[in-house]
């Protein structure tokens, strides 16, 4: 992981990422979160204890964690001692120690907190902890993790997680990783999950509902569905080709990056768009039509397990490395199924892109446009042009090396540019200049 540099205008507070200037924290690096949570569905009440293992990056006496203003903190200790002072303000938990810690010192931060969680309002709508008609979902991208636990909420700040969640027994509670334990007591069920792979906070999720869990496929990687029983038939059909999808993506992108398998959650409510989390994708009931109408989205979310969840951007300006790759995976699945080829889809979306506004720079789209569909499609088109330039053998070898070299790591666009150069017989600079750093839409077939 690269050291994070302070980027700020003179006179303004330092920021880690200009796209989300209020999130992320300086002075330490977290290696592990252990969350012990109790949630009452009927009254939307969360009580939590977070134990955070970290190391100081510099001499440290004051530091912050990201935490929603909807949650109040009752107790804090650092290395077993109460701090000189703590307070919450500006969606931060501010902690002041009685004595300075030297650089390289271990920190164990314990926080007791609770409240009525709610989503965080952002440029992209409400994100984070959200009540459903009968349960809960967490959609953390890009800055929603602090809506339910104190954290260093930035994509380059990866850590392992242990999540223990107790809720009323009729509900199934799902979090990231492997289920270690499940026990029932006095009308409450406690679920314990372990996510050992380094994971960004926005990819940690909690899903609670009147759900059943069943296996969809086992083709090297176990795939499960967690969903209302009433949707079982539709899910078995609509998500039924995920085993073949997984086999194709492992062939093209390299080994599936997680030990705990893959789970699809389908909520009883409709959702506008599906959502990715580490080892989990979340769909709405509206994505089950019995006709595989959402299969493009199913491929997209599965591909994120490689591109976005394992190989994760260091800063949000590089988001095309998530969305462009996942979008191109949709086209690869279509091609594999004998439907529209990647080239046909590229030509279709190239025409659409040409008729849209030409004011987006793919490598730095700006915070308001980071989830614009043009980022997805132009990113996929960039990869298609690169594929034609390199040829299939070298292009897919490049993707496999990308997912292997940067497995569970943080990346920037220059990392991909540098790696791609090893597979090219001639300079790729004109390709990158045209597709990544210009607002114009280049020809799909540039003159040789």
Longest dimension (CA), the chain: 73
User: Omega before 142 cis (within 30°)?
Assistant: yes
CA pair distance 23, 243, nearest whole angstrom: 37
CA pair distance 122, 125, nearest whole angstrom: 5
Task: Locate 105 and state its tokens.
Answer: 């010192």
Nearest to 309 by CA among 256, 349, 347: 256
Contact 243, 219 (CB under 8 A): yes
Task: Locate 348 and state its tokens.
Answer: 């279709």
Do the annotations mark residue 295 as ligand-binding?
no
Do the annotations mark residue 300 as ligand-binding?
yes
Contact 193, 177 (CB under 8 A): yes
How many C-beta atoms lie closer than 10 Å to residue 285's C-beta?
18
CA pair distance 185, 169, nearest whole angstrom: 9
Do the annotations mark residue 222 as ligand-binding?
no
- Write down how long the chain is: 448
CA pair distance 46, 387, nearest whole angstrom: 48
Nearest to 382 by CA among 442, 319, 338: 442
> Burial letters for 48-87: b for 16+ Cβ neighbours within 10 Å, e otherwise?
bbbebebebeeebeebbbbbbebbebeebbbeeeebeebe
Which of the residues 193, 211, 328, 376 is marked catalytic? Answer: 376
Q: Is 301 a catalytic residue?
A: yes
Which of the residues 301, 328, 330, 349 is marked catalytic? Answer: 301
Binding site residues for Zn(2+), as ranges?
Answer: 300, 304, 323
The residues that are catalytic are 301, 376
């Amino acid at each position: 992981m690269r050291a994070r540099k302070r980027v700020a205008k003179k006179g303004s507070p330092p920021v880690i990422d200009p796209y989300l200037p209020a999130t992320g924290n300086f002075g330490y690096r977290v290696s592990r979160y252990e969350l012990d949570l109790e949630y009452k569905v009927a009254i939307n009440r969360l009580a939590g204890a977070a134990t955070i293992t970290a190391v100081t990056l510099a001499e440290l006496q004051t530091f912050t964690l990201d935490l929603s203003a909807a949650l109040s903190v009752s107790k804090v200790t650092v290395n077993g001692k109460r701090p000189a002072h703590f307070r919450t303000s500006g969606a931060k938990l501010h902690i002041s120690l009685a004595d300075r810690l030297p650089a390289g010192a271990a920190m164990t931060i314990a926080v007791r907190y609770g409240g009525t969680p709610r989503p965080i309002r952002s440029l992209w709508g409400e994100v984070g902890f959200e009540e459903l008609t009968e349960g809960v979902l967490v959609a953390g991208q890009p800055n929603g993790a602090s809506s339910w636990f104190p954290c260093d909420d930035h994509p380059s700040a990866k850590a392992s997680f242990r999540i223990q969640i107790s809720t009323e027994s009729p509900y199934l509670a799902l979090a990231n990783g492997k289920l270690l334990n499940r026990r029932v007591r006095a009308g409450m069920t406690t679920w314990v999950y372990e996510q050992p792979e380094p994971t960004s906070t926005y990819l940690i999720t909690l899903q609670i509902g009147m759900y059943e869990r069943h296996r969809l496929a086992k083709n090297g990687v176990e795939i499960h569905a967690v969903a209302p029983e009433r949707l079982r038939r539709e899910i078995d059909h609509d998500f039924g080709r995920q085993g073949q999808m997984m086999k194709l993506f492992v062939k093209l992108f390299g080994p599936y990056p997680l030990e705990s398998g893959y789970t699809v959650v389908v909520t009883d409510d409709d959702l506008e768009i599906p959502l990715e989390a580490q080892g989990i994708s979340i769909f709405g009931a509206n994505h089950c039509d019995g006709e595989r109408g959402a299969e493009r989205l199913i491929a997209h979310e599965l591909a994120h397990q490689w591109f976005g969840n394992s190989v994760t951007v260091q800063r949000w300006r590089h988001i095309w490395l998530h969305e462009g790759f996942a979008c191109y995976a949709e086209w690869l699945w279509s091609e594999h199924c004998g439907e529209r080829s990647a080239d046909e889809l590229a030509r279709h979306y190239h025409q659409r892109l040409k008729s849209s506004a030409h004011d987006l720079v793919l490598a730095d789209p700006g915070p308001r446009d980071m989830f614009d569909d043009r980022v997805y499609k132009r990113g996929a088109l960039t990869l298609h042009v690169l594929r034609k330039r390199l040829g299939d053998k070298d292009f897919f070898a490049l993707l496999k090396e990308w997912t292997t070299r940067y497995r569970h790591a943080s990346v920037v666009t220059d990392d991909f540019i540098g790696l791609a150069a090893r597979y090219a017989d001639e300079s790729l600079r004109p390709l990158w200049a045209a597709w990544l750093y210009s607002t114009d839409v280049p020809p799909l077939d540039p003159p040789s």
